[in-house]
Structure 1
Amino acid sequence: MTKVNVETAKKSALVRDPDWWRGAVIYQIYPRSFQDSTGDGVGDLRGIAQRLPYIASLGVDAIWISPFFTSPMKDFGYDVSNYCDVDPMFGDLHDFDAVVEAAHALGVRVIIDLVLSHTSDVHPWFEQSRTSRDNPTADWYVWADPKPDGTPPNNWLSIFGGSAWQFDGTRMQYYLHNFLTSQPDLNFHNPEVVDAILDVERFWLERGVDGFRLDTINFYYADKELRDNPACPPEMRNDSIAPSVNPYNWQEHLYSKNQPENLGFLKKFREVLNEYGAVAVGEVGDAQRGLEIMAEYTSGGDKVQMCYSFEMLQPKLLAAGDLVAMQTKLNEEAPEAWPCWALSNHDTIRHVTRWHLSPPAIKTYATLLVCQRGSVCLYQGEELGLAEADVAFEDLQDPYGIQFWPEFKGRDGCRTPMVWEPSNSYGGFSEAKPWLPVAPEHLGRSVSVQEEDEHSVLHHYRAAIALRHDHPALARGTFEDLEQIGEVVHFVRRWEGKEVYCAFNLGELTVDIDAPEGHWTNIAEDLNGVAIREYAQLRLGPWEYCIALKQEG
């Protein structure tokens, strides 16, 4: 088959399966830190295009590109000033089109990050909105009068610290910001705002994107009456969304997010997705109701296809009991819902450091991830087993870390540049000093180093992804017979008559469990999986696992 025919076949394969997202493996790219093609120390779209063959070699189904839109970069692209253009530091729309074309030629779909709950304060919509109370976009943001004593309208808090309200002297009103003061919240109760957002959705779908990652999907609507949030009892506080030093955790965010009107908007968003055969995965930012909201937003086939919450992004090690409780609760809330699991992303300490993982444990959690029911997100560098980088205060860029230093060092430690080769201190990321320093300890774990080591974490991730694709039961099957014995968790995945047994020892002690009945073939030999031996107990040493296919007959 000629090269042209191969590319045509790959492109047509992208069109054929409307349910490709079920069980898909999605690779997250943080564009500032992936590959610099211009020598300015900041990654860009051309750099992504250059590295797409590497991404395709992992066997992933899609890439998710974090924001590259025009922005003042106070929150590094999560403060958008133009939804329909590329910030010059990343390139231009032609460069984005080239990424889409190159990805599709390699059989990889493209998902982009839409930040819809808020804009930058220099977005033209907000610049006009703040000029008066009666201009065309006056009601496009959440504005409210002060209390009689001049204090904010209610007690809502910002994830980035302090009140969620900022006073504006021109309108003599407060505006809502759940994040930085420079990130005012849009008023989704206004139908004109909803129409404008749907126009943004269509703009990128027309450019060929295959879907969206929806940032803070549960923050779109605020309570119309602006009622105070109740206190969160100390025993219910959870620092998976905000660091423990942030009083944000002391409230139950009953009214500032998770509003029922959001369901109506998601249905409208899904209608547009359906016109193009596109998909969406939503980030559910909630410490108490994450799984419940995930189920609510993905059930019924008329909202988003996938959501991920923070259960696997939590600070505490995901032990066997946690996994059983999480999966049991999700199955009870909505067995038809479709989760998207992630161990690391651009907002959390890398899980290797967060959970203090040993080299065997890194590989075990990677294998466990691809055996879960749902889809999977991998964060750039995760496949190298990168630990969190230690970024000195003078090198910090993240306003979140600067605000809460030193108790919380922010998100820069997981955002340092990707390491491609170890020949210099920039790791092949750039020819110039990068916007964040490359961690010296990362150089020895670079792509080129691990490509030469058949036992590396990189090769393990490739083999784990291939295992998921080779066995549809792992990607799309049911999730049944979940049990825990000590720190061993085991379950069965079933799909179209095929049955795969999975058992994982997530602890430091050897555990013997009863082997499942029947004849089984070890399908994880390439991953050093333990085989099931007939008429014998299954013995799993520390961080060992068994993945086996039931033989027919």
Structure 2
Amino acid sequence: MHHSTTRPARFRALAPLFAALILAASASLPAPAQTVPVNIAAPVTSDVWWKHAVVYEIYPRSYQDSNGDGLGDLNGITQRLPYLQSLGVDAIWIAPMYPSPQVDFGYDISNYESVDPQYGTLADMDKLIAAGKQHNIRVVLDMVLNHTSDKHQWFIDSASSRTNPRHNWYVWNDGIPADGPGVTAYQKKYEHEDLNGKKVVPPNNWTSGFGGSAWEWVPAVHQYYYHFFYIQQPDLNWRNPEVEKAAFGAMRFWLDRGVAGFRLDAIPTLFEDPKLTNAPELGGLNKQGDPNLSDKYQSNLPEVHDVIRRMRAMVASYAGNRVLIGETYLPDTAALVPWYGGEKLNELQLPMNMLVGFHGDHDKLNAASFRTRIEEAENILPGSQPLFVFDNHDNVRSWERYGDGVHNEAIARTIAAVLYTSRATAMTWEGAEIGMVTTTPTRKEDVKDPIGITGWPNEKGRDGERTPMQWDTSKNAGFSTADKTWLPVPPNYKTINVATEEKEPDSLLNWNKKLIALRRSNRAMHDGGLTMLNPNDPSVLSWLRSTAPGQPAVVVAMNMSAEPKTISLDLSTTGFKGKTVKTLLTDQPSLANTSTVTNITLPPFASWIAQIQ
């Protein structure tokens, strides 16, 4: 595909750095079969809900349009709750639906305590939260705390005068003399005159993730403000206690309305080096044409953890096990430990582990690499609940990233098996369950995502993964009655859609439903530990899920190759002696009656789940 990165596209300008940091360790199939009917059941333990949850990300613009204007909205999401319940979803994470100029499609918030009229009203959100409870689906909101829109009243005040009480709510700097030592030609491109008529440039060489300098001049105050992302997304100054107070107040506004928690956008970037030290250059240029730089002085600074601990305490003051999920693209599994709060586990409950689902396109479906990453999550994060994610609104869909162009649907089944049979909390993205594909614009004039507009043709933006949800074969795939939708509906909607796949017992959608239902109803799958089996097998990823001794255990095996593989699962180190099994679920008819763990032939990309008798 057109880009490969381990950070979301809002960070894609930094992709070369992260590609270096996060290197991975090292034809149609027969119709799938379900062997044991699985009904959606209530969870089998009373443990906190988020430990076993399926969290489903919704992009409100693209999910369901209820009023025919070509844009999805909150009432559209409410209409689709019965579908989400039938899928087995425990919580929906809704991408920003706050008032916004929509420069970055809602990630530039102009009011934290309301709903953008494009998406509905506060009453519509209250209705959605209430309806979610009736369908046993919690609502998690995206909370963007690193920056606001430049149209937020806080920034309008801040930029109006150096003496405004909110001036210090953002990161301002007078600049440095343009003829000073060490000033680069890059900085000189952003030269201005200060109050005394002297030429000044930005205080350092930092670049924005979306192209250009990270510093923007405001003539009214004769200062630069800092923006990690777009010019229209000024960074808040989290060293000012007033900022934390206001941000926590906005979170309380939604907690009081009944949301189940927050997904915290770009949370590692809250703080930047107070000395504004120049970033080390990594060599070469990124897709926006800027120098490749380390972001060590702009991201993952230790001060962020003090804020998260206070945030966790604030959220914990509410009943109902509210959750904090973090957008944490980090270089390795060990780097996740501080985000949980170390041994105290007093920070994020669920920092996203992107190392399993986004470990590099070059790996494709690699059993050894998955085994390494998942084992690390088991062993390096003791006492912590992992959160795995393969798809979101910022990245090319896993369909293309892991697909080989021939067996993509079979590989999508395998990815679903990894996600839903591991011990991790599972996060998925609208459309992954039906096999929606990335539909990237082919002409610059069709691009809606600003990063694709500024970076074309090297960077084509994120429109491809954000196309409208495909519901049925009617106009616009049932997404909207409008003549023109905000992004075009992909042409494959006549065959790839919810209504068609619901009717096909062996569809990708029904495979996802069966996996989620089994995860919910089987005790070992729901809350058992995970032990790797056959750890040296280069092609087959297999593990044991088990609870207490004497309780039924489950084995899972996934062939990650395009060739049949014969395996015998070695249970000798697990404490389980049984060799007889009962197949619970498989996507291959040839495995439906498998009753032993020895000499099992797994067809290409087959998944097989069985209970030890």
**Structure 2 length-normalised TM:** 0.82
CA distance in 1, matches of 2:235, 2:367: 39
Higher mean C-alpha displacement, 204-213 vs 525-534 = 525-534
Which residue in 2 is equivalent to 1:5?
none
Which residue in 2 is equivalent to 1:180?
230
C-alpha displacement of 1:431:
0.9
Deviation per residue, 1:118-165 (Å, 9 max, x gap): 100010111111122221111111112212112221222222122222
C-alpha displacement of 1:310:
2.8
Distance 1:436 1:535, change over 3 A: closer
C-alpha displacement of 1:18:
6.0
Which letter maps to 1:344? D
Matched, 1:167 2:167: no
Pick the aligned partner of 2:71 from 13, 33, 42: 42
Which residue in 1 is equivalent to 2:305?
263
C-alpha displacement of 1:101:
0.6
Which letter maps to 1:500? V
The answer (yes or no) to whether the contact 1:307–1:338 under 8 Å persists in 2 is: no
CA distance in 1, matches of 2:46, 2:559: 35
SS at match of 2:338: helix
Matched, 1:455 2:515: no
SS at match of 1:214: strand
Which residue in 2 is equivalent to 1:275?
317
SS at match of 2:263: strand
CA distance in 2, matches of 1:313, 1:268: 30
Distance 1:320 1:148, change over 3 A: same
Which residue in 2 is equivalent to 1:222?
272
Aligned 1:377-388 pairs, distance under 5 A:
377-388=427-438
**Structure 1 length-normalised TM:** 0.90
CA distance in 1, matches of 2:456, 2:329: 22
Pick the aligned partner of 2:392 from 333, 342, 345: 345
Which letter maps to 1:512? T
Which letter maps to 1:479? L
Pick the aligned partner of 1:495 from 547, 564, 567: 547
Deviation per residue, 1:39-65 (Å, 9 max, x gap): 111010111111111111101111111
C-alpha displacement of 1:319:
1.5
Which residue in 1 is equivalent to 2:601?
539
CA distance in 2, matches of 1:252, 1:318: 29
Distance 1:544 1:226, change over 3 A: same
The answer (yes or no) to whether the contact 1:342–1:376 under 8 Å persists in 2 is: yes
Aligned 1:497-516 pairs, distance under 5 A:
497=549, 498=551, 499-516=553-570
The answer (yes or no) to whether the contact 2:402–2:411 under 8 Å persists in 1 is: no
Matched, 1:521 2:584: no
Which letter maps to 1:503? A
Matched, 1:548 2:610: yes
SS at match of 2:127: helix
Distance 1:365 1:275, change over 3 A: same
CA distance in 2, matches of 1:297, 1:249: 29
Which letter maps to 1:422? T
C-alpha displacement of 1:394:
2.3
SS at match of 1:427: helix
Matched, 1:295 2:337: yes
SS at match of 1:63: strand
Which residue in 2 is equivalent to 1:415?
466
The answer (yes or no) to whether the contact 1:515–1:532 under 8 Å persists in 2 is: no
Which residue in 1 is equivalent to 2:349?
305
C-alpha displacement of 1:443:
2.9
C-alpha displacement of 1:303:
0.7
Which letter maps to 2:463? D
Aligned 1:124-203 pairs, distance under 5 A:
124-149=153-178, 150-203=200-253
SS at match of 2:155: helix
C-alpha displacement of 1:480:
2.3
CA distance in 2, matches of 1:294, 1:109: 25
Deviation per residue, 1:155-198 (Å, 9 max, x gap): 22222122222122222222111111000111111111111111
The answer (yes or no) to whether the contact 1:315–1:355 under 8 Å persists in 2 is: no
Aligned 1:326-405 pairs, distance under 5 A:
326-357=373-404, 358=407, 359-392=409-442, 393-405=444-456
Which letter maps to 1:510? P
Deviation per residue, 1:260-281 (Å, 9 max, x gap): 1111111111111111131111
Higher relative contact order (CA 8 A, sep 6+): 2
Q: Percent identity?
A: 38
Which residue in 2 is equivalent to 1:324?
371
C-alpha displacement of 1:233:
7.6
The answer (yes or no) to whether the contact 1:416–1:436 under 8 Å persists in 2 is: yes
Q: Which runs of 5+ in 1 are unaligned?
A: 1-9, 235-242
CA distance in 2, matches of 1:263, 1:457: 40
SS at match of 2:104: coil
Which residue in 1 is equivalent to 2:94?
65
Aligned 1:201-212 pairs, distance under 5 A:
201-212=251-262
